[in-house]
Amino acid sequence: MVTPQSRQPSEHHTPAGAPVPRAYPPARQREEFVRSLHEAHGRALLAFALAEVHGDRQAAEDIVQETMLRAWQHPDSRGLQAAPRAWLFTTAHRLVIDRWRRISVRPQEVADIQLQHVSVRDHADTALSGLVVKEALSALTDKYRAVIVQVYLNGRTANETATVLDIPVGTVKSRLHNAVRALRAVLEAKGATDVD
């Protein structure tokens, strides 16, 4: 007795179980059949595939092409003959699932163009910038440096800085304005770019 596992996909079986070679239609008939399927269902299949792959046109076109290839490979499929649109959509849906499974198990691909514009932060730049700013701060007068340290380095508001330094809020604001201008001038004199 022939079991389903022992059957080869390229063979039909007679009631007695003797394998008979599968008779495919000639290539021209298969091409015409697939062409007629594409003409009748191609647009709808592409729209379905686009929705399934969330608007990725290239992937959708690949799904449609693979679906048509499967139709060409299995022109005598019962489902394809009985309800071609349903067969095409089911096949396309299964191909989308297979694609999703393939994509989910491997890392996301990145185009080379994107890699050319990726900047890698150099910690030496941060350290050097810190040294330049520290040196520029030391060039300021004590009253300007104190306001800059309280507001920018300690994160205090003008009111909090006034309380800590025991000076009026208006004085804090004017010293901060003048300190920032003086700090900018010192940094520009040291050749720092992008001071703003």
144 and 82 belong to one structural domain:
no
Token code pair at residue 79: 């489902």
- pLDDT tens-digit profile of 99-147? 999 888 877 766 666 666 666 666 776 777 778 878 888 888 999 989 9
pLDDT band at residue 186 under the 50/70/90 scheme: confident
Longest dimension (CA), the chain: 107
Please indicate, yes or no, if residue 174 is contained in any of the structural domains.
Answer: yes
Q: 41 is in which domain, residue-wise?
A: 25-104
Which of 56, 86, 104 corresponds to the end of one domain?
A: 104
Query: Given 63, 86, 104, which residue is the final one in a domain?
Result: 104
The reply to whether 35 and 86 lie within a common domain is yes
Taking a C-beta distance cutoff of 8 angstroms, is the pair 52, 92 a contact? yes
Q: What CATH number did the domain enclosing 163 receive?
A: 1.10.10.10
pLDDT category at 36 given cuts 50, 70, 90 is very high
In a domain, 74, yes or no: yes
What is the structure's pLDDT at 114? Answer: 61
Q: What is the pLDDT at residue 178?
A: 92
Overall number of domains in the chain: 2
The region of weakest confidence among 18-27, 67-76, 142-151 is: 18-27
Residue 2 lies in a domain: no
Same domain, 142 and 81: no
Please check whether residue 5 lies inside any domain of the structure. no
Residue 50 located in a structural domain: yes
The larger pLDDT score, comparing residue 195 to residue 168, is at 168
- Domain-ending residue, one of 104, 123, 149: 104
- Give per-residue pLDDT as tens, 80-103: 889 999 999 999 999 999 999 988
Which three-class secondary structure state does DSSP give residue 13? strand
In a domain, 17, yes or no: no
Are 29 and 100 in the same domain?
Answer: yes
In a domain, 165, yes or no: yes
Same domain, 98 and 152: no
> Is the torsion defined by CA of 86, 89, 93, 94 positive or negative?
positive
pLDDT of residue 161: 92
At residue 117, the pLDDT reads 66
48 and 96 belong to one structural domain: yes
CATH number at residue 30: 1.10.1740
Is residue 126 domain-resident?
no
Which of 50-54, 86-90, 118-122, 173-177 is predicted with the least confidence, judged by mean pLDDT? Answer: 118-122
Q: Percentage of residues in the chain with pLDDT exceeding 90?
A: 44
Phi, psi of 21 (to 5 degrees): -55, 140
Q: Are residues 87 and 142 in the same domain?
A: no
For 3-26, the pLDDT digits (tens) are 444 444 444 444 555 444 455 567
Tell whether the model's pLDDT for residue 193 goes beyond 50: yes
pLDDT at 129: 73
Note whether 132 and 170 are within 8 A (CB): no
- For residue 133, what pLDDT is reported? 79
